[in-house]
Structure 1
Amino acid sequence: MSQNAPSSDGAPQGSGASLTPPPPTPTQHYGTGFQLSVWYGDKFPANHPQPVNLASLSIPQLRALQTRLTSELEHLTTSHTKLRAAQAKFRDCVRSINDGVTGNEKKGTAGRDEILVPLTSSLYVKGRLTDREKVLVDVGTGFYVEKTASKAVAFYEDKVKGLEANLQELEKIVQAKSSQLRIVEETLRQKMLAEGAPQAATG
């Protein structure tokens, strides 16, 4: 998708940044005129994008672009936090299988069938393991699949690795988006100083 023309409010048109799959890191140009390539939506051009010459934009357009980039950055940061939390839960599943089901001699759980079954985050009942070889794995959308303990560990470890790859890509996008926002804010400050406009909402 080629660079969209500014809309009636002065902001380039397009949807928010897509996370699945992660978009490529936007290319930035630090040459004359503070040119900056800004991509929106989940479709990107096969060739090089058309850069936006920030120096040619008006103050309202720069403010609109600043608002859009800030919103996208907040969304990406929130998504990163949620993905990191999901990864931590999968790691907890691996530890629970190794320590609670298979058993860990160092932690004194090897050969012990007694467990505490959580009913809520702070309420437990005593239980007893009847099978240390198999577990039920939540594979999403309310479906559970019976797996051996070793296959369940492999399943969750694959989830952890997959999320790590997504997180690394997302971190690159967040860094690029943050850099874009800083360039836009600096250009806006310079233009407002040059035109003698009040410096409001630029930081």
Structure 2
Amino acid sequence: MSVNVQDLDLPQLTEVKRQLDEELGHLTNSFAQLKQAQAKFKACVENVAEINPSNTGKVILVPLTNSLYVPGRLSNPDTVIVDVGTGYYVKKERAAAVKHYQAKMDFVRSNLETLQETIQKKQENLSFLIQVMQAKMQQ
């Protein structure tokens, strides 16, 4: 069932605007979180690309958390440990790790595009609603 917003009175329009503002805030927050995830996956691809056989035996900093690193030695530059989510890690060849993170980046990019379209539609709806509210106030 659809309702023409021009048929609503000002208090009802105010409530619809509040709901739209809330939805837009949630969608914008989700967009920002997806952008952060995309940046994280991109950094993972870049980090895997930096590992090469010439670094075998050299001391490197191993991340335990986002802000805690410990020194370690690179023993096998052909494989890396990949965080596959929910606390699980898998040993993968470097090329497979890059492919894994690239697939994650593509998935996030697809969701970002869809979310961007949704945000744009909601912003257009909000703009139209504000115009209707202004017209009702002038009457």
How far does residue 137 in structure 1 lie from its aligned partner after superposition?
1.1
Deviations 1:159-202 (A, max 9, x none): 001111110010000000000001111101110111xxxxxxxx
C-alpha change, 1:163 and 1:133, in structure 2 (3 Å) is same
How far does residue 123 in structure 1 lie from its aligned partner after superposition?
5.1
What's 2:118 paired with? 173
Structure 1: segments with no counterpart, 5+ residues: 4-49, 104-109, 195-203
| CA–CA separation in structure 1 for the residues paired with 2:107 and 2:44 | 15
Aligned with residue 86 of structure 1, among 12, 31, 37: 37
How far does residue 63 in structure 1 lie from its aligned partner after superposition?
0.3
Q: 2:49 is matched by which residue type in structure 1?
A: N
Of structures 1 and 2, the one scoring higher in RCO (CA 8 A, sep 6+) is 2
Structure 1 range deviating more: 56-65 or 136-145: 136-145
What's 2:25 paired with? 74
What's 1:163 paired with? 108
What's 1:128 paired with? 73
Q: Structure 2 length as normaliser, TM-score? A: 0.91
Task: Give the match's secondary structure for 2:80.
Answer: strand
C-alpha change, 1:144 and 1:122, in structure 2 (3 Å) is closer
| CA–CA separation in structure 2 for the residues paired with 1:135 and 1:117 | 11
| CA–CA separation in structure 1 for the residues paired with 2:123 and 2:90 | 42
Q: 1:170 is matched by which residue type in structure 2?
A: L
Alignment of 1:36-51 (within 5 A): 50=2
Q: 1:61 is matched by which residue type in structure 2?
A: Q
Over the matched positions of the two proteins, sequence identity in percent amounts to 41
Aligned with residue 111 of structure 1, among 41, 54, 58: 54
Q: Structure 1 length as normaliser, TM-score? A: 0.63
CA RMSD of aligned residues (A): 1.5
Asked if 1:191 corresponds to 2:136, the answer is yes
How far does residue 125 in structure 1 lie from its aligned partner after superposition?
3.5
| CA–CA separation in structure 2 for the residues paired with 1:127 and 1:88 | 25
How far does residue 115 in structure 1 lie from its aligned partner after superposition?
1.0
| CA–CA separation in structure 1 for the residues paired with 2:123 and 2:75 | 52
Q: 2:126 is matched by which residue type in structure 1?
A: L
What's 1:22 paired with? none
Structure 2: segments with no counterpart, 5+ residues: none
C-alpha change, 1:121 and 1:143, in structure 2 (3 Å) is closer
| CA–CA separation in structure 1 for the residues paired with 2:21 and 2:11 | 15
